[in-house]
Chains A and B, each alone.
Chain A
């Protein structure tokens, strides 16, 4: 019975990972990609712990890759407030 919720989580993780990966190619869409990848990662890990499956693994892997790519294209650590204050 517990397989169904885990399958749902695995599918959701994979779908979110795919969407997050696509977001990398859309400039500021990487921000949405980070959020979706984080949710996909949490769901994928939960699915793997409850009922390990190939789909859960794929969801986790894709979410990790998407999070990494979105992070390097988006997170700049530039203290923008200081920069904005000088404008």
Chain B
């Protein structure tokens, strides 16, 4: 649709711009929710740590899934700098980012002695908000596109470097963006009522893993990997759903 824009002579990737806006919005929400519970500095720093984890985790999972293709085309990649750089600039998988982000937040909490579930309960509602903006970035870039679909709300790309052009597709990017906004609203209300609860993370994982499991059936970019009939993200969704249910039934270690 509009993968790049030009501003003051510089090319800006719309996906990166939307992610940046999402992280800023998420930070504002987390600071608001954390007032009086966790120091603002710790909220911002943990989000920065989390963002680093998201970038690394999303990229690592992508490269891991594409490893067979990369190995098969290694000579082409080594002989063509442009192709190699395209491999590094493109391809980020959300679940890898989520796991990497949570891991880095966990590391931050352990290193600086921050109550981990209190902080995660504050940050969790911000995750779907940032993700919603990221999915708008996917809409601009044309990645994460849907299956062939001619029904209501279908979308047609005309100059996408990734999505099939001039073919009606299911609007997966917009659908996931809207669903993520809904999840954000639910979690925001829950987090305001149940401050510091570990169940905020569990609720998010339940909502998102179910949503993502079914959305995968209308995803058209299945070059991402299919194993025993389910995509990589569907398998991760099943695992995270199990983890979320386990988390729900864990008793809090202390009342405060």
The winner among B20, B144, B162 for most chain A CB atoms within 10 A is: B162
Q: How far is the CA of A82 from the CA of B143 in the complex (A)?
A: 10
Known: A45-B48, A49-B112, A84-B73. A75 touches B89 (CB 8 A): yes
State the A residues within 8 Å of B (CB): 28, 31, 34, 38, 41-42, 45, 48-49, 64, 67-68, 71-85
The 0/1 profile, CB within 8 Å of A marked 1, for residues 49-60 of chain B is: 101100100000
Contact B91 A79 (CB under 8 A): yes
Q: A77-B91, A82-B162 are in contact. List 7 more A-B contacts (CB 8 A).
A: A64-B48, A71-B16, A71-B19, A75-B15, A75-B19, A79-B144, A80-B87
In whole Å, how far is A16's beta carbon from the nearest beta carbon of chain B? 13
Known: A79-B162, A79-B223, A82-B221. A73 touches B10 (CB 8 A): yes
> Can you list 19 A-B pairs, Cβ within 8 angstroms, ordered by A?
A41-B52, A49-B45, A71-B16, A71-B20, A72-B17, A72-B20, A73-B10, A75-B13, A75-B19, A75-B92, A76-B3, A76-B15, A76-B16, A76-B90, A77-B141, A79-B90, A82-B162, A84-B73, A84-B86
Known: A41-B48, A75-B15. A83 touches B161 (CB 8 A): yes
State the B residues within 8 Å of A (CB): 3-4, 10-13, 15-17, 19-20, 41, 45, 48-49, 51-52, 55, 66, 69-70, 73, 83, 85-92, 112, 137-138, 141-144, 161-162, 221, 223-224
Known: A45-B45, A72-B17, A84-B73. A78 touches B87 (CB 8 A): no
Chain A contact residues: helix, strand, loop or mixed:
helix
Q: How far is the CA of A84 from the CA of B49 in the complex (A)?
A: 32
Q: Residue of A at shortest CB range from B92?
A: A77
Q: How far is the CA of A31 from the CA of B55 in the complex (A)?
A: 12
Q: How far is the CA of A73 from the CA of B15 in the complex (A)?
A: 10
Q: How far is the CA of A56 from the CA of B219 in the complex (A)?
A: 45
Contact A74 B13 (CB under 8 A): yes
Contact A80 B89 (CB under 8 A): yes
Contact B48 A77 (CB under 8 A): no
Q: How far is the CA of A64 from the CA of B66 in the complex (A)?
A: 30
Give chain B residues whose Cβ lies under 8 Å from the Cβ of A76: 3-4, 13, 15-16, 89-90, 141
Give chain A residues whose Cβ lies under 8 Å from the Cβ of B223: 79, 81-82, 85
Residue from the list A41, A72, A73, A79 in contact with B143, Cβ < 8 A: A79
Known: A68-B20, A73-B11, A73-B12. A81 touches B137 (CB 8 A): no
In whole Å, how far is B62's beta carbon from the nearest beta carbon of chain A? 8
Q: Residue of A at shortest CB range from B88?
A: A31
Give chain B residues whose Cβ lies under 8 Å from the Cβ of A31: 85, 88-89
Residue from the list B16, B92, B141 in contact with A72, Cβ < 8 A: B16
Contact B48 A74 (CB under 8 A): no
Q: How far is the CA of A68 from the CA of B19 in the complex (A)?
A: 9
Give chain B residues whose Cβ lies under 8 Å from the Cβ of A64: 48
In whole Å, how far is B224's beta carbon from the nearest beta carbon of chain A? 8
In whole Å, how far is B85's beta carbon from the nearest beta carbon of chain A? 5
Give chain B residues whose Cβ lies under 8 Å from the Cβ of A49: 45, 112
